[in-house]
Structure 1
Amino acid sequence: MVLDILGYILSTTLDYSTPILIAAMGELIGQRSGVLNLGIEGTMLMGAFMSYFASIYLGNLYLGVFVGILIGIGLGMIIGTSNIVLGRSQIVTGIGMNMMGIGLSSFLFVKTITDVFGKVPPAGTIPAIFFGVSPFTFLAVALVPTIWFFLYRTTVGLKVRAVGENPEAADVAGISVLKTRFSCLLFATALAGLAGSSLAIGTTGLFTHNMTAARGFIAISVVILSNWSPQKCLFGALLFGLVYSIQAVFQAYGVPVPWQVTLTFPYIVAIIALLVASRRAQAPAALMIPFLRKR
Structure 2
Amino acid sequence: MDWLQVVILAVVQGLTEFLPISSSAHLILVPILGGDPDQGLAFDVALHLGSLAAVLLYFRTDIGNMARSWTRSLTTRQLDADARLAWGVILGTIPVGLVGLLLQDFIETELRSPIWIAWGLIIFGLLLGWVDWRYRGQRSEHQINWKDVFWIGCAQALALFPGVSRSGITMTAGLMVGLNREGASRFSFLLSIPVTVLACLLKTYDLVRADTQVEWAPMALGVVLSAISAYLCIHYFLAFIKRIGMQPFVIYRVVLGVVLLWIFL
Asked if Structure 1 and Structure 2 have the same fold, meaning a TM-score greater than 0.5 normalized by the shorter chain, the answer is no
User: When the two structures are superposed, what TM-score results if normalisation uses the length of structure 1?
Assistant: 0.29
* Larger helix fraction of residues: 2
TM-score by length of 2: 0.31
